[in-house]
Structure 1
Amino acid sequence: MTATPAAPAPPTTGAPGTLGGRWTQFALRRGGRLLVSLFVLVTASFLMIHLVPGDPVRAALGMTAPTELVEARRHALGLDDPLLTQYLDYLGGLFRGDLGESIQTQLPVGETIGRRLGATVSLGLIAFVLALLIAVPLGVCVAVATRRGRRQRTSLGFASGSVVIGSIPDFLIGVVLVAVFAVGLGWLPVAGREDGAASYVLPVLALAIGPAAMLARIVRVEMISVLESDYIRTARAKRLPARRIHLVHALPNAVTATLTLGGMLLASMVAGTVLVENVFAWPGLGSTIVSSIVTKDYPVVQGTVLVYGVIVLLVNTLVDVALAVLDPRSTVGEA
């Protein structure tokens, strides 16, 4: 009797519960959240200019500006159209890459932001890398030295110091750094970006010191937890070198929480450049948004807030993706 050949199994790439299905669901959830967040951000940035008391054009041009000039600028900016029409025009402009026009300079907002964006992003990224280079080795070393209750004074000093340093505002750290290293010792430039790499030192330190202290504390806690796990005890029983145990087996498993917090810190560091840039007269988005608020140039404020928000959303999304790659279990069971 000839056996009937079995029918080919259906493809399971997108079936629920499979690897492909989990990744598809993860991508749909993350993409949906990103779109909703972008919609809320765009709507909030649009309404911001309309919720400000008074007439932004009159405030920007001055109380003595002729009424004809004010009305002409309002018409040119479309501020005399119905609110819904303005909102639809705003959305259409965003799809074309048009963020509007500055009331003060009458230049495109996108052009103004484009000239300053690189300075802000470079400052935030360099500070983030420096924070990681300080926090991860420091947290690992303190964890190894203080695990199982050893060196209580070191543990207490590290915990207390990291909390104190992490709670100091970055702009205050910047003021202290300027007073000591720029004004007092004269080693580094006080402000600006004209002195090349030396110009980055103080603002980068001002941005990185607090987050590095917070991140080092998280690295220590996670590392201690991993060092007490069963597979690390097995590795020690096999007489593996301590360096291999700490760096190859323990550190990758302690990086998950560090990556999550690090992503949030990167987003907050980019947004935190607003105050630090003004301390150091840094030609980035932070100084742009402050000067625009002072001059009542609300379209520039609106565009800058939108760009900051998009940067934060994209960073958080990239962190979620990186976390899912390192730990695929995080793609399962999310709301």
Structure 2
Amino acid sequence: MTTPPSVLTSAPLLEKAAGRSIFVLHRLARAAVSFVIVFVAAFLMVQLVPGDPVRAALGPTAPVATVAALRAQLGLDQPLVDRFTAYAGGLLHGDLGMSITSQRPVAEMLAERLPTTLTIAVAALLVAVVGAFPLGVATAVSARGARHRGLDLAVSGLLGVLIAIPNFLLAVLFIATLSIGLGAFPPAGWGTPSQAVLPVLALAIGPLAYLARIVHIEMLRVLDAPYLTTARSKRLPGRLIHLRHALPNIVAATLTAGGVVLVGLVAGTVLIETVFTVPGIGSTIVSSITARDYPLIQGVVIVYALLVLGTNLLIDLALVILDPRSTIAEA
């Protein structure tokens, strides 16, 4: 019996759809398991701290009645299982507990500071991407071929140096030169566009160099591909060859690298916000550790985990759309 052509045509489509679904479900399950592990670790962090976390936060001179009242308010006088159940239930309703030092809801404090951290991270990512693509493409086109091997090595070396410089060191250098030396930008604070320039630049330089290196390497690989040789044989303009035929084939690799960069940018805000005294989540975790405000530390850890896991998940879902072959192979 002959199989109808419509069945033969739809079979590969169904296989691709199934592969994508399996990939997405696998990534969702992995993200959920990772978050549960982080949540349990954040909860146990307070429980395993030697001594009384409330006494450590309030200091040795705090009255016993004050310490006892705050312990009861935070639920630390309850059995461990009851505390875990209450904390998990509160998390489902957006309740991350109360800050010991400020006596304010942790969720409210982080909601006030999260937009600042996201603004710095996203702005740095935009600067990195906007700078990396033209730099990576231009250097790859210029360095293509054996005659320009020295240029290729020089570009790779320079980008490697920029990647290796810590962002907090760049922050200090920018303050010393662009702020104190030239007076071009404020050395600290937040609220005006000029105050955002130095934190964003300090955070973006390393990722820009990293992404430019990825674009450079991928572009060199694509420029020698057979389909580009065919395009050149048709005497198409170089700009058209690079934009229409080469760039789309490096998007997937660059997007994957961009996801790693964004995760690093979110984590990098801790030092950058501290150096520039920016009131974001990064500086909050430093001050909360100094004050031993454990509920606030827990909240920051959970928020950072959600940001990192959410970013990775969005990148994976974008890859399903842009490069289905790789995702199906992984599934």
- TM-score, with structure 2 as normaliser: 0.95
Shift of 1:149: 2.3
Higher helix fraction: Structure 1 or Structure 2?
A: 2
Which residue is equivalent to 1:174? Answer: 171
**What per-residue deviation string (whole Å, max 9, x for no partner) do you get for residues 26-49 of structure 1?**
221121111111111111111111
Which residue is equivalent to 1:25? Answer: 22
Contact between 1:13 and 1:20, CA under 8 Å: does it hold in 2? Answer: no
Q: Distance in 2 between matches of 1:63 and 1:71?
A: 13
Q: Distance in 1 between matches of 2:244 and 2:136?
A: 16
Q: Distance in 2 between matches of 1:186 and 1:94?
A: 45
Higher relative contact order, structure no. (Cα contacts within 8 Å, ≥ 6 residues apart): 2
Shift of 1:13: 8.7
Which residue is equivalent to 2:155? Answer: 158
Q: Distance in 2 between matches of 1:15 and 1:45?
A: 45
Which residue is equivalent to 2:95? Answer: 98
Shift of 1:17: 5.5
Q: Distance in 1 between matches of 2:147 and 2:90?
A: 61
Which residue is equivalent to 2:190? Answer: 193
Which residue is equivalent to 1:3? Answer: none
Gaps of 5+ in 2: none
Shift of 1:21: 1.5
Which residue is equivalent to 2:198? Answer: 202
Find the partner of 1:88 among 75, 85, 88: 85
SS at match of 2:144: helix
Gaps of 5+ in 1: 1-5
Shift of 1:230: 0.8
Shift of 1:68: 1.7
User: 2:285 matched to 1:305?
Assistant: no
- TM-score, with structure 1 as normaliser: 0.93
Shift of 1:97: 0.5
**What per-residue deviation string (whole Å, max 9, x for no partner) do you get for residues 299-329 of structure 1?**
1111011101110000001111111211111
Alignment-mate amino acid for residue 170 of structure 2: I
Q: Distance in 2 between matches of 1:186 and 1:53?
A: 47
What count of residue pairs does the alignment treat as equivalent? 327
Contact between 1:15 and 1:21, CA under 8 Å: does it hold in 2? Answer: no
Alignment-mate amino acid for residue 236 of structure 2: L
- Runs of 4+ in structure 1 over 3 Å off: 12-17
Alignment-mate amino acid for residue 27 of structure 2: R
Contact between 1:219 and 1:258, CA under 8 Å: does it hold in 2? Answer: yes
User: 2:127 matched to 1:134?
Assistant: no
Q: Distance in 2 between matches of 1:24 and 1:132?
A: 29
Which residue is equivalent to 2:52? Answer: 55
Contact between 1:14 and 1:24, CA under 8 Å: does it hold in 2? Answer: no
Q: Distance in 2 between matches of 1:13 and 1:286?
A: 50
Contact between 2:319 and 2:327, CA under 8 Å: does it hold in 1? Answer: no
Contact between 2:252 and 2:322, CA under 8 Å: does it hold in 1? Answer: yes
Q: Distance in 2 between matches of 1:23 and 1:225?
A: 27
User: Cα gap change, 1:15/1:106 in structure 2, threshold over 3 Å: closer, same or farther?
Assistant: farther
Alignment-mate amino acid for residue 21 of structure 1: A
User: 2:234 matched to 1:238?
Assistant: yes
Contact between 1:145 and 1:151, CA under 8 Å: does it hold in 2? Answer: yes
SS at match of 2:250: helix
User: Cα gap change, 1:290/1:233 in structure 2, threshold over 3 Å: closer, same or farther?
Assistant: same
**What per-residue deviation string (whole Å, max 9, x for no partner) do you get for residues 70-108 of structure 1?**
111111101121111111111100111100000111110
Shift of 1:51: 2.3
**What per-residue deviation string (whole Å, max 9, x for no partner) do you get for residues 38-63 of structure 1?**
11111111111122222110011110
User: Cα gap change, 1:302/1:135 in structure 2, threshold over 3 Å: closer, same or farther?
Assistant: same
Alignment-mate amino acid for residue 147 of structure 1: R
Q: Distance in 1 between matches of 2:55 and 2:182?
A: 46
Contact between 1:170 and 1:210, CA under 8 Å: does it hold in 2? Answer: yes
Q: Distance in 2 between matches of 1:20 and 1:250?
A: 27
Alignment RMSD:
1.9
Contact between 2:16 and 2:328, CA under 8 Å: does it hold in 1? Answer: no
Alignment-mate amino acid for residue 175 of structure 2: V
Contact between 1:13 and 1:19, CA under 8 Å: does it hold in 2? Answer: no
Shift of 1:241: 1.0
Shift of 1:156: 2.0
User: Cα gap change, 1:16/1:51 in structure 2, threshold over 3 Å: closer, same or farther?
Assistant: farther
